[in-house]
């Protein structure tokens, strides 16, 4: 018997149905990440701190004034979540409450009124239920959920907006990386930084991703998939990869960068730590220097590296470049710890492995 959460909702939002579903046009066998969207979306507006009635409507363009704050100063925040299909056809939303908590923290950091928890939860549950035929029936695929809030006041002065809109859009996705679960290659980019203490590196906000695009393009042009960010002060400690937190198997211990304020507190990161501890592994959250990893790769004590994220799930890393030096990992194959985590987490997602702690909301 799976240990899951009950799914009763306290609000039921009115629905404007799409005239004709786009689903039959979608090639579910060849899904990539993020370029297909399901039929409906949710919208709720907030003015002077008061939330209006929300509604579900057909997925489509949204209108706002060209002077809206989000377009100029980026006052907004978002989440990345997933819903999965169980073998018996049920649908599971993974760790919805943890995502809400992170979303609320991001909103607070951006001075955005926090979307009430029941609005977040009930809108997502109702929307996923309505578009449940869009949840892929495949172990390697999911319905990606993107809740986001934007500041919409028409005003060019730099000040917090008085009006906001919260949306939820969804879409079926395959692997985040074109490599699938084959190990990816990373490079550090010591001339650029992602975040500084006191900034917004631990919040899920648009600017963090926008600022990463140029260095990521340089990395891609040089043959890597992503940038492995180093800390901004000493350019020495490994932080994260924009779409993932990082884990390393070093001296038989599972290590990951401590949440120093510049790293996104990943929900999958938390899942990995909780599972590894449950399995009796030694887990350390601490500063990890790039030199320590280079040394570990030379003397054979660094045996695996992988990233964790909602979009990326568990993505093995086969090679890391840093200033002309190479960190080669497990002959560029997925290692045993990454594989066990991948199988367990995707097993929980799809209901083949027991939910250890009420992480699944089955609808």
**80 touching ligand COI, by CB under 6 A:** yes
* Separation CA 27–CA 25 (nearest Å): 7
Rounded to 10 degrees, the C-alpha dihedral 334/335/337/339 comes to 30
Q: Which stretch binds ligand COI (CB under 6 A): 58-66, 227-235, 293-301, 308-316?
A: 308-316
CB atoms within 10 A of CB 138: 15
What's the closest the beta carbon of residue 188 comes to ligand COI, in angstroms?
19
What's the closest the beta carbon of residue 99 comes to ligand COI, in angstroms?
9
What's the closest the beta carbon of residue 195 comes to ligand COI, in angstroms?
14
**76 touching ligand COI, by CB under 6 A:** no
Q: Which stretch binds ligand COI (CB under 6 A): 13-21, 133-141, 253-261, 304-312?
A: 304-312
Planar angle of CA 198, 314, 194, nearest 5 degrees: 25
Of 80 and 316, the one with the shorter C-beta distance to ligand COI is: 80
- Phi, psi (rounded to 5 degrees) for 94: -90, 125
* Separation CA 215–CA 218 (nearest Å): 5
Angle between helices 267-278 and 96-109 (to 10 degrees): 130
CB atoms within 10 A of CB 232: 17
- Check if the beta carbon of residue 188 is closer than 8 Å to that of residue 237: no
* Separation CA 91–CA 124 (nearest Å): 12
CB atoms within 10 A of CB 140: 14
Q: Which stretch binds ligand COI (CB under 6 A): 158-166, 216-224, 281-289, 303-311?
A: 303-311
What's the closest the beta carbon of residue 328 comes to ligand COI, in angstroms?
26
Of 169 and 243, the one with the shorter C-beta distance to ligand COI is: 243
Member of 4, 161, 245, 310 binding ligand COI (CB under 6 A): 310
**309 touching ligand COI, by CB under 6 A:** yes
User: Is residue 79 exposed (0-12), middle (13-18) or buried (19+ Cβ within 10 Å)?
Assistant: buried
Of 92 and 310, the one with the shorter C-beta distance to ligand COI is: 310
Identify residues 242-281 at the interface with ligand COI (CB under 6 A).
243
Task: Give the CB-nearest residue to ligand COI.
Answer: 80
Identify residues 218-247 at the interface with ligand COI (CB under 6 A).
243
What's the closest the beta carbon of residue 122 comes to ligand COI, in angstroms?
21
What's the closest the beta carbon of residue 75 comes to ligand COI, in angstroms?
18
Of 153 and 239, the one with the shorter C-beta distance to ligand COI is: 239
- Strand 142-151, strand 81-85: pairing: antiparallel
The span from the first CA to the last CA of the chain, in angstroms, equals 16
Q: Which stretch binds ligand COI (CB under 6 A): 92-100, 269-277, 307-315, 331-339?
A: 307-315
Residues in the site for ligand COI, rule: CB under 6 A?
80, 243, 309-311
């Amino acid at each position: 018997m799976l240990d899951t959460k009950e799914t009763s909702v306290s609000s039921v939002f009115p629905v404007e149905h799409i005239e004709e579903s786009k689903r039959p046009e979608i090639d579910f066998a060849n899904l990539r990440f993020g370029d297909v969207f399901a039929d409906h979306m949710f919208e709720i507006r907030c003015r002077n701190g008061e939330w209006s009635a929300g509604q579900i409507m057909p997925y489509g363009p949204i209108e706002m004034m060209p002077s809206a704050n989000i377009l100029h100063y980026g006052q907004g925040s978002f989440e990345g979540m997933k819903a999965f299909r169980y073998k018996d056809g049920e649908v599971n939303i993974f760790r919805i409450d943890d995502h809400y908590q992170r979303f609320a923290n991001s909103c607070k950091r951006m001075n955005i009124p926090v979307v009430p928890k029941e609005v977040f939860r009930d809108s997502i549950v109702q929307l996923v239920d309505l578009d449940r035929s869009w949840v892929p029936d495949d172990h390697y695929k999911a319905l990606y959920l993107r809740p986001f809030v934007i500041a919409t006041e028409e005003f060019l002065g730099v000040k917090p907006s008085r009006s906001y809109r919260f949306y939820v859009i969804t879409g079926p996705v395959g692997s985040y990386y074109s490599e699938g679960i084959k190990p990816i290659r990373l490079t550090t980019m010591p001339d650029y930084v992602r975040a500084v203490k006191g900034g917004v590196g631990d919040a899920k906000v648009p600017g963090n991703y926008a600022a990463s695009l140029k260095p990521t393009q340089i990395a891609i042009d040089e043959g890597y998939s992503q940038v492995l960010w180093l800390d901004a002060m000493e350019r020495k400690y490994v932080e994260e990869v924009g779409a993932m937190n990082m884990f390393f198997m070093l001296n038989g211990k599972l290590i990951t960068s401590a949440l120093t304020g510049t790293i996104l507190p990943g929900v999958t990161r938390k899942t990995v730590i909780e599972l590894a501890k449950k399995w009796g592994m030694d887990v350390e959250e601490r500063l990890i220097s790039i030199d320590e990893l280079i040394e570990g790769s030379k003397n054979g004590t660094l045996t695996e590296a992988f990233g964790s994220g909602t979009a990326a799930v568990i993505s093995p890393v086969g090679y890391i470049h840093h200033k002309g030096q190479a960190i080669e990992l497990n002959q560029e194959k997925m290692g045993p710890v990454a594989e066990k985590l991948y199988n367990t987490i995707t097993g929980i997602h799809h209901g083949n492995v027991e939910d250890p702690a009420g992480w699944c909301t089955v609808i």
